[in-house]
Amino acid sequence: MAVTIKDIAKYAGVSVTTVSRALNGYPDVSEETREKIKKIAEELNYSPNSIARGLVTNKTHTVGLVVSELIKPGAYHPFFLEILAGIKAGLRKDKYDLILYTVDPTSQDVTPYEKLCNDRKVDGAIVEGLKLSDPYIEEIKNTEIPTVLIDIPILNDKVGYVSSDNVQAAFEATSYLIKLGHKNIGFINGHNDAAVSFERLEGYKKALYKNNIPYKDEYVVFDDFTQDGGYNCFRKMIFENPEITAVFHASDLMAIGSLKAAQDLGMQVPDDISIVGFDDIELSSLITPGLTTIRQENYKIGYMAARHLVSIIKGEKPRHIIIPHRLIIRQSAKKI
Amino acid sequence: MAVTIKDIAKYAGVSVTTVSRALNGYPDVSEETREKIKKIAEELNYSPNSIARGLVTNKTHTVGLVVSELIKPGAYHPFFLEILAGIKAGLRKDKYDLILYTVDPTSQDVTPYEKLCNDRKVDGAIVEGLKLSDPYIEEIKNTEIPTVLIDIPILNDKVGYVSSDNVQAAFEATSYLIKLGHKNIGFINGHNDAAVSFERLEGYKKALYKNNIPYKDEYVVFDDFTQDGGYNCFRKMIFENPEITAVFHASDLMAIGSLKAAQDLGMQVPDDISIVGFDDIELSSLITPGLTTIRQENYKIGYMAARHLVSIIKGEKPRHIIIPHRLIIRQSAKKI
DNA sequence: AGATGTTACCAAAACGTTTCGGATGCATTT
DNA sequence: AAATGCATCCGAAACGTTTTGGTAACATCT
Closest nucleotide relative to residue B53's CA, C1' based:
C17
State the burial class of residue B6 (Cβ atoms within 10 Å of its Cβ: 0-12, 13-18, 19+). exposed
The residues facing B150 across adjacent strands are: B128, B162
Residue A331 lies in a domain: no
**A230 & A247 share domain:** yes
Residue B283, in any domain of the structure: yes
Q: What is the pLDDT of residue B76?
A: 79
Please check whether residues A193 and A125 belong to one and the same domain: no
Q: Are strands B71-72 and B75-76 parallel, antiparallel or unpaired?
A: antiparallel
* More confident position, B72 or B284: B284
How many Å lie between the alpha carbon of B208 and the closest alpha carbon of chain A?
Answer: 34
- B242 three-state secondary structure: coil
Regarding whether A224 and A158 lie in a shared domain, the answer is no
Residue B173 lies in a domain: yes
Q: Is the CB of A30 within 7 Å of strand C?
A: yes
DSSP-assigned letters across all residues of B30-71: -HHHHHHHHHHHHHTT----HHHHHHHHS--SEEEEEEE-SE
What is the rounded average pLDDT of the residues B84-104? 94
Residue A156 sits in the same domain as residue A304: yes
pLDDT value at position B72?
64
Are A2 and A146 contained in the same domain? Answer: no
Q: Look at residue B330 and tell me if it is in a domain.
A: no
Residue A47 belongs to a domain? no
- Count of CB atoms within 10 A of residue B278's CB? 31
> Residue B7: helix, strand or coil by DSSP?
helix
| Inter-chain residue contact A51 with B55, CB threshold 8 Å | yes
Is the same domain home to A153 and A86?
yes
| pLDDT at residue B74, as a whole number | 61
pLDDT value at residue A1: 65
Q: Is residue B118 part of a domain?
A: yes
Quick check: B85 and A62 CB within 8 A?
Answer: no
Q: How confident is the model at residue A72 (pLDDT cuts 50, 70, 90)?
A: low
Same domain, B174 and B265: yes
Q: What percent of chain B has pLDDT over 90?
A: 89
The DSSP bridge pattern shows strands B147-150 and B124-128 to be parallel
B197 closest CA partner among B230, B152, B160, B235: B152
Q: Which residues of chain A does B57 touch, with a Cβ-Cβ cutoff of 8 Å?
A: none
pLDDT tens by residue, B156-181: 999 999 999 999 999 999 999 999 99
- B43 Cα distance to chain centroid: 43
Please state the rounded mean pLDDT for residues A61-78: 82
In the prediction, which pLDDT does A336 show?
87
What is the pLDDT, as a whole number, of residue B304? Answer: 98
Q: Which residue has the higher pLDDT, A142 or A336?
A: A142
B210 and B132 part of one domain: no
| Residues of chain B above pLDDT 70, percent | 98
Residues lying close to strand C (Cβ under 7 A), chosen from 241-300 of chain B, are none
Q: Is residue B203 part of a domain?
A: yes
| Lowest-pLDDT choice from A285-289, A311-315, B137-141 | A285-289
Q: How confident is the prediction for chain B on average, in pLDDT?
A: 94
State whether A81 and A67 are in the same domain: yes
Of chain B, the end-to-end C-alpha distance in Å amounts to 75
Give the number of other Cβ atoms within 10 Å of residue B25's Cβ. Answer: 8
Give percent of chain A with pLDDT exceeding 70: 98
Count of domains for chain B? 3
Residues of B within an 8 Å Cβ radius of A:
2, 47-52, 54-55, 60, 62, 70-71, 75-77, 80-82, 84-85, 88, 97-102, 115, 118-121, 256, 282-283, 286-288
Run of H or E residues at B17: helix B16-23
* Residues B67-92, mean pLDDT to the nearest whole number: 86
Residues A312, A285 within the same domain: no
- Chain B span 24-43 residues with beta carbon within 7 Å of strand C: 24, 28
What average pLDDT does range B10-24 have in this prediction? 95
For chain A, the residues whose C-beta falls within 8 A of a C-beta of chain B are 2, 47-52, 54-55, 60, 62, 70-71, 75-77, 80-82, 84-85, 88, 97-102, 115, 118-121, 256, 282-283, 286-288
The confidence score (pLDDT) of residue B73 equals 57
> Residue B267's pLDDT is what?
96
Mean pLDDT within A119-131: 94
Kindly state the average pLDDT of the residues B65-77.
79
Report angle CA B254, B256, B258 to the nearest 5 degrees.
70
Residues of B in contact with A47 (CB under 8 A): 115, 118-119
pLDDT at B1: 65
Do B176 and B288 share a domain, yes or no? Answer: yes
**A276-297: pLDDT as tens digits:** 999 999 889 888 899 999 999 9
- What distance in Å separates the CA atoms of residue B216 and residue B205, rounded to the nearest whole number? 9
Specify the CATH number for the domain of residue B42: 1.10.260.40
**Which of B56, B76, B260 is the best substitution to test chain A (most A C-beta atoms within 10 A)?**
B76
Spatial separation of the C-alpha atoms in residues B270 and B280, rounded to whole Å: 18
CATH of the domain at A77: 3.40.50.2300
Render pLDDT for B255-280 as a digit per residue (tens, 0 to 9): 999 999 999 999 999 999 999 999 99
User: Does residue A4 reach within 7 angstroms of strand C, measured from its CB?
Assistant: no
Residue A13 CB lies within 7 Å of the nucleic strand C: yes
In a domain, A143, yes or no: yes
Q: Is the pLDDT of residue A243 over 70?
A: yes
- Alpha-helical regions (H) of chain A: 5-12, 16-23, 31-43, 50-57, 80-92, 113-120, 135-141, 166-179, 195-210, 227-240, 252-264, 283-286, 298-313
Domain range for A176: 166-296
Residue type at B19 in one-letter notation? V
Q: Taking residues A5-12, report their average pLDDT.
A: 94
The predicted structure's pLDDT at residue A88: 96
Confidence of residue B199 (pLDDT cuts 50, 70, 90): very high
Q: Mean of the pLDDT values across residues B134-156? A: 96
- Residue B272 CA to residue B267 CA, distance in Å, equals 6
Q: A177 and A192 in one domain?
A: yes
